[in-house]
Amino acid sequence: MTEVGRIKAEINGTEYELTDHAQLRYAMRINADQQFTSHLVEEGVPVSLRGGYQEGIWNAEVGAVFLIAADGLVVSTTIPDTGLGLHTEELKECSCGFLVQEERNKGFQCNHCGEEIESESGAEYGDYRDGDRGVA
């Protein structure tokens, strides 16, 4: 079955294909009254995520993260940004253009290009699961 009229969005010179599933999830979880367009994604910023997610495009104005599939060129689904801990002041910008979320025990490491970004304090965190809750 050939898919006709797939929506595409361009962010920082990279073109992403937006799946029907991403559109459906936007209507179900974010805003059923707003038509899903490429502008919703294009107005977002690319982010390197933590907590089992890899990469996404975050549109803070609408409260949505458009998750990027493993191939890096398809927006596969949409989730609310609540619960991901996305706050502009807590993100670091990577040289590749992605905003990077801090990952416990890893600091700021970009999932997109692999670059490690040093935290301002230079502190390293212990693994809370091992009982080390303090700063090393």
Q: Which sign, positive or negative, has the C-alpha torsion 92, 94, 99, 103?
A: negative
Instruction: Please give the pLDDT value at position 40.
Output: 95
Q: Is the pLDDT of residue 68 over 80?
A: yes
Residue whose tokens read 């982010």: 47
Residue 15 has phi, psi (to 5 degrees) of -95, 130
Q: Are 31 and 54 in contact (CB under 8 A)?
A: no
Name the pTM for this structure: 0.79
Q: First and final CA of the chain: distance in angstroms?
A: 56
Q: Rounded to an integer, what distance in angstroms lies between the CA atom of residue 51 and that of residue 65?
A: 14
Token pair for 37: 């367009």
Query: Cα–chain-centroid distance for residue 67?
Result: 6
Q: Rounded to an integer, what distance in angstroms lies between the CA atom of residue 84 and that of residue 75?
A: 17
pLDDT tens per residue, range 95-117:
999 999 987 766 889 999 999 98
Amino acid at 129: R
- Is residue 117 helix, strand or coil? strand
